[in-house]
Amino acid sequence: MLLIFHSAVHRAMPRGRPKIKTATVTLRVDPAVKAAAELAAQHDRRSLTNLVEVLLINHCRSLNLYPITPQSKETP
């Protein structure tokens, strides 16, 4: 699976969403993992990109690494 997050600044949507900067992340996984992730994303009514982002955020939060604070930036 190859995920690409493009760096961009999005303009405010009609619903009043704030501008969001995004970064690019590329990774490769086994095709079976990609297929399972696509099914999980579909089940949750999310895009695959959003599913991966939510999973990463939840894991980083469980390790007290997100959101980034001055203390966690210094921690290896």
> Do the domain assignments include residue 62?
yes
> Do the domain assignments include residue 2?
no
- How many angstroms separate the CA atoms of 20 and 7, rounded? 10
Map residue 72 onto helix, strand or coil.
Answer: helix
Instruction: Judge whether residue 6 has pLDDT over 60.
Output: no
Total structural domains within the chain: 1
Domain that holds residue 49: 8-74
> Do the domain assignments include residue 1?
no
Please identify which residue in the block is written with the tokens 């949507």: 13
Residue 71: pLDDT band by 50, 70, 90 thresholds?
low
Mean pLDDT for all residues in the chain = 83
* pTM of the predicted model as reported, rounded to 2 decimal places: 0.65
> Do the domain assignments include residue 17?
yes
- What are the tens digits of pLDDT across the range 22-54? 999 999 999 999 999 999 999 999 999 999 999
Q: Are 37 and 48 in contact (CB under 8 A)?
A: yes
List 64's β-bridge partners, or say none: none
> Do the domain assignments include residue 68?
yes
> Do the domain assignments include residue 3?
no
